[in-house]
Structure 1
Amino acid sequence: MDVQMKDSGLLHVTLTKMCELHAIDMPRNGELAEHFQLAFPSANYDEEADEWRMLWKKGTYAESNARLEAFFSERGVAFSHVDKC
């Protein structure tokens, strides 16, 4: 899992776009995960991949990324994108 504590103490999350599948590399449990589940109820944790997964329809990627970015930014969590689509 690529979740890292930065020098500033902020959590870093990697967001991976795999076409219709988005992977969110963050811990399964904890306060951030609880808020994430409330904000994105369609997300589920993939035990095998050890990351959160969400499906989004083609044509909504920009909106999807904006929602994820806003969610993490509002909580002071740094993030980066990986595009595998």
Structure 2
Amino acid sequence: MTDASEKHVTLTKMCELHSIAMPRDGELAERFQKAFPTAAFDESAHEWRMVWKKGTYADSNARLEAFFHDNGATVVHVDKC
């Protein structure tokens, strides 16, 4: 069963970097690592980080949104770009 803390994810778009505020460990994190192998957990920021090429934001956001929706998590978007 998925932990309650995994139900809410904050996705922050920072131009060519996305940060994903969700727990480092747990079922959702394991599935996330398999779906997005280029993502890495930033120990100092306590969040996941992914680099995206300029011009692919709509696609990357759609992929992330679909992943979290399919895994029962709600997403809050923050745009800092």
* TM-score (structure 2 length as normaliser): 0.92
Tell me the amino acid that sits aligned with residue 49 of structure 2: R
Cα distance in 2 for partners of 1:11, 1:74 equals 11
The structure whose residues are more often helix, as a share, is 2
Residues 1:18 and 2:14 are matched in the alignment: yes
SS at match of 2:64: helix
* Identical residues among aligned pairs (%): 71
| Matched residue, 1:27 | 23
The one-character-per-residue Cα deviations of 1:22-70 (angstroms, maximum 9, x if unpaired) are 0000000011000000000000000000000000000000000000000
SS at match of 1:42: coil
SS at match of 1:59: coil
Tell me the amino acid that sits aligned with residue 43 of structure 1: A
Structure 2: runs of 5+ lacking an equivalent: none
Residues 1:49 and 2:45 are matched in the alignment: yes
Equivalent of 1:63 in 54, 59, 62: 59
1:82 Cα deviation after fit: 0.1
Tell me the amino acid that sits aligned with residue 56 of structure 1: W
Structure 1: runs of 5+ lacking an equivalent: none
Between the two proteins, the alignment pairs up a number of residues equal to: 78
| Matched residue, 2:78 | 82
